[in-house]
Amino acid sequence: MENEIQQLVDMGATVNQARAALRRYNDVMEAAERIFDGAFDDIPDESSDTPIASAGQQPRGLWYTFFHTPEEEDNTYEEAAGSGEDDNEDDEFVNYDSDYEIRDDTPNAQVDIDPYAGIFFSKDRREEVIEVEEEPETVHISGISERVKLMTQNQWMKGCPEGGEQGFLFSLYSQLIEGNCPCPSACGYSIPRAKSHFFAVFPSFEVYINQLRGIVRQKCKRCFKEFCFACGEPINGPKIPELATVSNDHDLFHCSNLQGIILGVGLAMLEQLYHDQLQNPLGHENKIRTSKRRKTDPVINTSMILDPDDDDDSYISSSALGKKLKVGIGYAGDQKEDTTGQAEAQAMQQSKDEKLGKLMTQLRVFLPSLRRPGGALTSDYLVHPTALAHLRRRFNNICSSLLRNDSLTDMSDRSSVYFELFEWLETISNHEALASMMAMPIMVVSSVRTHTPKKAANGTLPLRERTIIYEGSTGPRELLESIVIQANAAIKGLEGIKPTEIVPVEMTEEQKRVNNDTKGKAKEISMPSLSEENQKLLGFCQRILTTADAIDRSLRETKGERFLERIQESLPKIHTANSTSNEVFVDVEASDEAIRQLYIDWATRVRFEYCDLTVSPPADKPVTQDEPPNYKFYYNTEARMLASSDIPKRSLAIAKELAVLTTNLPVAWDSSIFLRVDETRVDIIKALIIGPEGTPFLFDIFLGHNYNQLPPSVKYMTTNGGKFRFNPNLYADGKVCLSLLGTWAGPGWVAGKSTLLQVLISIQSMILCEEPYLNEPGWASSSGTPQSMAYSANIRRMVVKTAMLGNLKNPPEPFGDIIRTHFRLKAQSISAQLDQWLSQDDGSPTVNDGATSGRGSQGGSANGLQTDIEELKRVMKQLQDASISISTSTSSSH
C-alpha cells in the first residue's frame, strides 16, 4: 500500500488524503479521480512537512505530468527547485520512459535551473519486445449485419516497447474485458463486463462511438443511481445537449478510463486505415510492405497492426544500394514519359485523404484539451497514463510518415490530411501531459524475428511469437522543422524578386535639389501579385509556420524556456550569409569512420545556403534605386533584365523548387551537391557538384522568365578559362549536354513537372561515370579500349590541374569554405587516389579536347601531372596542419 500512497503523493495529494482514498477505493486511478474531484479536501494532513512531488525533483514515471491541472501554480517548478529538499525514500517506481536519464550532479542548483536538464531524449535507443499473435474473436452485435472482431490483448499493446507503458495498457485492458462493475453506492448491484463492450472493432469510428454512448451511462436497478460503466463512479448531472457536436453528452468524457479506451481503439482504426492506404495504393491486394528510409534514421514502421500471415521480412524495407553509373548522360533513349492515369491517381489519392482526414477530425475531439470549446471536461484534466502511450506508438507512426514527405507541393495538394495533422500537433503540444512527446524520439521497428509456433492446449491454434527490435528515430518537432525549412524557402520564392537595398551615400547639393523636385513622384515598389495557385501554396506554408510557432510557444509555457532552447539547438537549420564559418576541423586522432561521418554531417548542414552574389559597385559610381545590381554570375545580363518582372507562374515554380532543394540535395562521402542562392534573387543559383574522388565542379544556373515551362539555363564554369573539356557532355565553352536541358538525345523537359533537382542529379551521374569516353555518340560500345583508357588519363590530368589544384588555390566564390573543408576532410583519401592516377598515367601530353592519338611511357611525368600532384598534396598538408593546430589548441584550452 505504501507504493500506492507514494503514487498519489507524487500526483499532488497529501499523505492522509492518499490513505483515506485508498481505504475506500482499491484502485489508484479511482482514488486519484476522487481526490481531484475534491472528495477528500476536508482531511487535514498531520505531516505538513511531507514533500509533495514536484518538477524540481525529477518526477517518477511522469505521473506528475499526467495529473498537473491548471489550478496548480505555474511557478511550482521554480519553488521546488530552490527548496533544497531531498527525497530520501527508495525509488520503487519504474521510469515511464527508459530514455530518461536522471542526473543529480548539481546539489546547489539555482532557482532558475531547468527542471528537465537531466532528461535526455536520445535517439540512440534499442528495445527488444516479444509479441504474441492471437487469433481474434468475433461476436454478433445487435444492429451490425456482419460479425465484429474483438481487439486482442496483443493488438491493444502492439508497438509498445516501454515497460511502464505496457503495464498501464495491460491494466486497463484487463480491467474492462471481464469481471463486474459494481454500483458505487455499495447496494450490492453490479453489471458484468465483456470484451465486446469496449474492444469491438466496428466498421467505422462513428459506429464505435455510438456503441459506447449507449452503454457508458448505466442505472442501478436497486438504488436507481447512475454510474459510469468504465470506471464505476457516479455520473452526476443530466446530459448536456449543447455538447451534441462533440458527443450526445459529456458521458464519453467522464473519466480517464474512457479516454484511454477511445484513444486506443480509435488510433488503432486510424492506423489500420493509413496502413491499408499505403499498402494498397490502387485498391488491390498487396502484402509487400515498403517504407521510405532515411540515411540517418531507422526504417519507419507502417504496420503496427500486423497480419499474422505476413512473412517475417514484411516489416523491413530494404534500401537499394547506390551504384556509380558506367555512363552518366542523364536520361537515355528516345522514349517519352507516359503520363496517362495521373488524373485518376490524383483523384484516388484525394478520396483516400478525405477519408483519413475525416477520421482524424473525429478522433481529435477525444484528445485531452484544456482549450476545448465550451470548457474542459473531466478527462481533459485527469489524463489517463495510456494516452501518451497510444499517441507515441500509433499516432507517431502516421505523423512521422507524413512529415517525411519530401515534396511541399504534394503536401499542399493533400491539405485535407496535413491541415488536420497540424491541428493534432498543436492540440498535443498544448497539454502538459502530452507536450513532451514533441521532443521524444519515435520508436520504430528495425527488425523482426519469428519464433517456431508453440503448441497450444485444448486443440486451439498454436501461438506465434515474434521478437521485435525497436530503435529510436527523429521526433515530431524535429521532423516538422524540415517542413518549416521548406515552407520558408517556398515563401521566399513566392516573394519574387526583391529590390536591392541601397546603401545611402552623401548627396551633393545638386542631387539634393533634384531629389526635392521629384519628391512624391518616386516609383512605388509593390509585392508581386499572387495567383490563386500561388495563394494556396502561400496559405499552406503559413499554416506550417503557425503550427511550429504554436508548438514552441506551448513547450515554453508548459516545459520552460531552457527545455525549448535544448530542442531548438537540435533542429536542422539552413545556413545564411550571416552564419558562422562552414569550415570544420579534424581531430588528429579521428578514425576513418569518424571522418566519414563528420564529412556527411558537415555536408548535410551546409549543402544549401542563401548568400549575397551581387558585385559591389565602384565607390565613385553609386547605384540608384532604379538600376539593378550586377552579379558574380554568367547570366548576369539576363538576370538584370528580369529585375522588375512579376511572373506569378515562374514564382510558383521557383517556390516549389526551393522547398525541395533545401532538404533534399544528395550528400555522400563519394559525391555531394552544394547550392548557393542569392538572398534577394532566388532565380540566381550557383552549384558545386563534387565529382570523382573529391573533384569539385562549378555551375551557374539561371531560372529564366519562362521557367519552368522551359528548362533552366546551366553553364559549366570549371573549364580552365574555356580551355578544358572534361567530358563529352561538358564543353570547354561551358555548354552542358543533357536531355533534360534539350541539348542531348532522350526524353526532355516536361513543362510543370521536371525539376532542377533532376537536372543536378543527372549532371552528377554524368560526372561520376567510370568511362566518360562512352558518353560520346558512337563510342558507347568502346568500354575498356585503349582509346577509352587514354581519354580517361587525359581527363585526370586536367582534373588535377584545374578542378582540384586550381579550385583549392583560388576557390570560386562563394564556395571557398566548402572547398577548403572538403579537401581537408578527404585529404588522405584524395592523396591515395592521386598516387593511383599517377601510376595509371600514360605519360602523354595533356590535350584540351579529346583523347590523345599516341601513348607515352607508363607513369611518365613530362606532362606535368607529377608536379601538380606534389603541389596539391603540399596544399592539402597545409590545410591538415592548420586543422591539427586548431584541434590541439582547442583540446589544451579544455
DSSP string across 668-683: -SS--EEEEEESS-TT
Q: Exposure of 43 by Cβ count < 10 A (0-12 exposed, 13-18 middle, 19+ buried)?
A: middle
**Cβ contact 781:772 at 8 Å:** no
Determine which helix (DSSP H) or strand (DSSP E) holds 795, and give its type and residue range: helix 786-798
Residue 742 corresponds to which cell in the numbers above? Answer: 534539350
Would you place residue 339 in the very low, low, confident or very high pLDDT band (cuts 50, 70, 90)? low
Q: Which residues contact 490 (CB under 8 A, 6 or more apart)?
A: 408, 537, 538, 541, 655, 656, 658, 659
Would you place residue 103 in the very low, low, confident or very high pLDDT band (cuts 50, 70, 90)? very low
- Give the span between the Cα atoms of 818 and 608, in whole angstroms: 11
Phi, psi torsion values for 467, nearest 5 degrees: -95, 120
Higher-confidence position of 291 and 394: 394
**Nearest-10 crossing angle of helices 786-798, 827-840:** 140
Determine which helix (DSSP H) or strand (DSSP E) holds 835, and give its type and residue range: helix 827-840
Number of C-alpha atoms within 13 angstroms, CB side, residue 593?
Answer: 0
Q: Which residues contact 416 (CB under 8 A, 6 or more apart)?
A: 350, 353, 354, 357
State the pLDDT at residue 518: 39
Residue 147 corresponds to which cell in the numbers above? Answer: 460479425
Neighbours of 628 (CB within 10 A): 18
Find the DSSP H helices in 150-304.
153-157, 163-177, 195-198, 205-215, 256-279
Least confident of 334-348, 385-399, 468-482, 495-509: 495-509
Pairing of strands 148-150, 200-201: antiparallel
Least confident of 410-424, 621-635, 678-692: 621-635
User: Nearest to residue 713, comparing CAs of 754, 751, 747, 742?
Assistant: 742
In sequence order, what are the beta bridge partners of 686? 676, 700
pLDDT above 90 (res 553): yes
State the pLDDT at residue 245: 46
Residue 48 corresponds to which cell in the numbers above? Answer: 505538513
Would you place residue 317 in the very low, low, confident or very high pLDDT band (cuts 50, 70, 90)? very low
Residue 516 corresponds to which cell in the numbers above? Answer: 526635392
- Give the span between the Cα atoms of 856 and 835, in whole angstroms: 18
Q: Which of 160, 220, 737, 769 is catalytic?
A: 737
State the pLDDT at residue 577: 55
For 157-183, the pLDDT digits (tens) are: 888 888 778 889 999 999 999 889 999
pLDDT above 90 (res 342): no
Count the residues in the chain: 894
In sequence order, what are the beta bridge partners of 609? 575, 676
pLDDT above 50 (res 65): no
State the pLDDT at residue 875: 92
**Cβ contact 370:426 at 8 Å:** no
State the pLDDT at residue 497: 61
For 809-866, the pLDDT digits (tens) are: 999 989 999 999 999 999 989 999 999 999 988 888 888 876 444 444 444 456 889 9
Residue 281 corresponds to which cell in the numbers above? Answer: 495504393
**Cβ contact 38:20 at 8 Å:** no
Would you place residue 545 in the very low, low, confident or very high pLDDT band (cuts 50, 70, 90)? very high
Q: Is the peptide bond before 44 cis (omega within 30 degrees of 0)?
A: no
**Nearest-10 crossing angle of helices 476-494, 396-403:** 30
Looking at residue 243, the DSSP 8-state letter turns out to be G
- Give the span between the Cα atoms of 878 and 688, in whole angstroms: 23
User: Nearest to residue 704, comparing CAs of 632, 634, 611?
Assistant: 634
Determine which helix (DSSP H) or strand (DSSP E) holds 130, and give its type and residue range: strand 126-133
State the pLDDT at residue 39: 74
Neighbours of 205 (CB within 10 A): 19
- Give the span between the Cα atoms of 794 and 777, in whole angstroms: 19
Average pLDDT (619-631) is 75
Taken in order 667, 669, 672, 674, the sign of the CA dihedral is positive
- Give the span between the Cα atoms of 767 and 775, in whole angstroms: 10
- Give the span between the Cα atoms of 335 and 852, in whole angstroms: 35
Considering the chain, what is the average pLDDT of its residues? Answer: 76
State the pLDDT at residue 541: 94
- Give the span between the Cα atoms of 444 and 844, in whole angstroms: 57
Would you place residue 96 in the very low, low, confident or very high pLDDT band (cuts 50, 70, 90)? very low
pLDDT above 50 (res 489): yes
Least confident of 297-306, 684-693, 792-801: 297-306
**Cβ contact 696:807 at 8 Å:** yes
Average pLDDT (582-605) is 82
Neighbours of 833 (CB within 10 A): 17
- Give the span between the Cα atoms of 828 and 826, in whole angstroms: 6
Least confident of 306-310, 633-637, 760-764: 306-310
Higher-confidence position of 568 and 13: 568
Residue 496 corresponds to which cell in the numbers above? Answer: 519574387
- Give the span between the Cα atoms of 172 and 42, in whole angstroms: 30
User: Nearest to residue 824, comparing CAs of 887, 893, 750?
Assistant: 887
Q: Which residues contact 512 (CB under 8 A, 6 or more apart)?
A: none
Residue 98 corresponds to which cell in the numbers above? Answer: 527508459
Share of the chain above pLDDT 90, in %: 34
Would you place residue 145 in the very low, low, confident or very high pLDDT band (cuts 50, 70, 90)? confident
In sequence order, what are the beta bridge partners of 219? 226
Would you place residue 891 in the very low, low, confident or very high pLDDT band (cuts 50, 70, 90)? very low
Would you place residue 255 in the very low, low, confident or very high pLDDT band (cuts 50, 70, 90)? very high
Angle of CA points 804, 805, 807, to nearest 5° = 70
**Cβ contact 406:485 at 8 Å:** no
Query: Is 737 in the active site?
Result: yes
Give the DSSP per-residue string, 375-427: ---HHHHS--THHHHHIIIIIHHHHHHHHT-S-HHHHHHTHHHHHHHHHHHHH
Q: Which residues contact 149 (CB under 8 A, 6 or more apart)?
A: 136, 137, 138, 200, 201
Higher-confidence position of 328 and 588: 588
**Cβ contact 19:3 at 8 Å:** no
Q: Which residues contact 729 (CB under 8 A, 6 or more apart)?
A: 329, 736, 737, 738, 744, 766, 772, 775
Determine which helix (DSSP H) or strand (DSSP E) holds 684, and give its type and residue range: strand 684-690
- Domains identified in the chain and CATH numbers: 1-120 (no CATH), 125-319+367-405+441-472 (no CATH), 573-893 (3.10.110.10)
Number of C-alpha atoms within 13 angstroms, CB side, residue 777?
Answer: 6
Neighbours of 12 (CB within 10 A): 21
User: Nearest to residue 250, comparing CAs of 258, 240, 263?
Assistant: 240
Give the DSSP per-residue string, 156-180: HHTT---HHHHHHHHHHHHHHHSSE
State the pLDDT at residue 266: 96
Least confident of 70-74, 233-237, 250-254, 257-261: 70-74
Looking at residue 727, the DSSP 8-state letter turns out to be B
In single-letter form, the type of residue at position 125 comes to: R
- Full-model pTM: 0.73
- Give the span between the Cα atoms of 443 and 475, in whole angstroms: 9
Q: How far lies 224's CA from each of 214, 220, 235, 275, in Å?
A: 17, 5, 12, 45
In sequence order, what are the beta bridge partners of 698? 688
Would you place residue 60 in the very low, low, confident or very high pLDDT band (cuts 50, 70, 90)? very low
State the pLDDT at residue 130: 84
Q: How far lies 600's CA from each of 125, 436, 595, 826, 887, in Å?
A: 22, 30, 9, 11, 19
pLDDT above 70 (res 294): no
Q: Exposure of 439 by Cβ count < 10 A (0-12 exposed, 13-18 middle, 19+ buried)?
A: buried
